[in-house]
Structure 1
Amino acid sequence: AETDRLAGRLNFLATVGSVAPFVGLFGTVWGIMDSFFNIGAQQNSSLAVVAPGISEALFATAIGLFAAIPAVIAYNRFSHRVNRFETRLFRFADRFHATLSRELEQ
């Protein structure tokens, strides 16, 4: 029950780690679409027209990565710790059961 409680708290990190890149990708697509819209509206493809949308796209990508990378690292680290803790609990339970069984047999 304790390991389930600990592992249940990892769901948020797993969700952020898996969803954040797609949010960043959506922002990237949105920024590029904005650039194309501006090109069409102004009939000009100069850097001054394209740059704001591209910068928004790059910023959205960066935000997605800045959220996803630490979340994945933290998830992996905490998941490993929960697994290690669960293994220790099982070993303790096995040793305790064996000791208790020997004591009861005597």
Structure 2
Amino acid sequence: MTTFDDRERAEEAKFSHDAEMQFRIQARRNRLLGEWAAERMNLLPAEREAYAKAVVQADFEEAGDEDVIRKLLGDLTSAGVETDEAEVRAALENKLVEARRALMG
């Protein structure tokens, strides 16, 4: 029974670690995405930091990436930046790779 219990605890720990890493990667991706959008909107440095945090917060509105994409599209369009959903989704994928590299080494 001890071997089974040890294996079960190890699997639970791995699952917990993987879930935490996924959360951290997504949060980093959203921050990088916010910085990318803030730069495109020509925000001042102090505004860029606040905007990046707002993008991270936007991800908590609903499951998936649609809430972040909707926020970025709306904000970029309101700022007069020519963009489309495909460009935002491409940036999202690029920033995901960048975030994963930064956190996973």
TM over 0.5: no
User: What TM-score, normalized by structure 1, do the two folds share?
Assistant: 0.40
Give the number of the structure with larger relative contact order, counting CA–CA contacts within 8 Å between residues 6 or more apart: 1
More helix as a share of residues:
1
Task: Find the structure with the greater CA-based Rg.
Answer: 1
